[in-house]
Amino acid sequence: MGGTEPPFDAMLAVFFDSGADAQATCGGGKLAALFGDDPNHVDTTIPMQEMIADEYQMGQKPDAASVLSGLRRLKIIRTVYRRNDLDPQQFKDYWLRNHARLEDVVIRQSPVVRIVATFAVPGGLDGKKPPFDGMVELYFKSAEDIRAMFTSSIPAMMREDEKNFVQMDAPAIRFVANEFVTNERTG
């Protein structure tokens, strides 16, 4: 899709029933230790960025389940930092109560199929500062749909509102990714 190389090759998301379950499973270096078992695939000399987060599905098209079925899903991932004058709860509240209204517009007026917002739990993993405050995932049917969305007025509308809660001059990671579901609990 153009652009520069992403700052990493893969990202792993593991879902838990509660924050306590996540802490018990991942805390104390347990998650990082799992990757030391496979030095042929993971460069263990590069520090891992780990965090515990809350994830919210912000909206989706009526056909999202069928469009996103299967093991591969195309998405854009973008990390953000909260504005310096906001605490983590204010940042999350603004996104969920205000910015979410614009995300509804994105679902209705663009090719975005699903929007997921993720919020770092401050100190959630062994008291460590999370590597970022929030992350948005925009799911698409195709690369052409991504291009169409970015040539529309939608990104400018979203960026204008982000000034209310996102630190606009902070570094952010943005990339297009293929999401693969490798294991899913049923029932």
Per-position pLDDT tens, the chain of length 187: 456 666 666 666 777 777 788 777 777 777 767 666 666 666 767 767 777 888 999 999 999 999 888 778 899 999 999 999 999 999 999 999 999 999 999 999 999 999 999 999 888 777 888 888 999 999 999 999 999 999 999 999 999 999 999 999 998 888 887 777 766 666 5
- Is the CB of residue 57 less than 8 Å from the CB of residue 114? yes
- In sequence order, the 6+-apart residues with CB closer than 8 A to the CB of 76 are 137, 138, 140, 146, 174, 175, 176, 177
- Is the CB of residue 91 less than 8 Å from the CB of residue 82? yes
The pTM for the full model equals 0.85
Q: Are strands 174-180 and 53-60 parallel, antiparallel or unpaired?
A: unpaired
Entry field: residues in the chain: 187
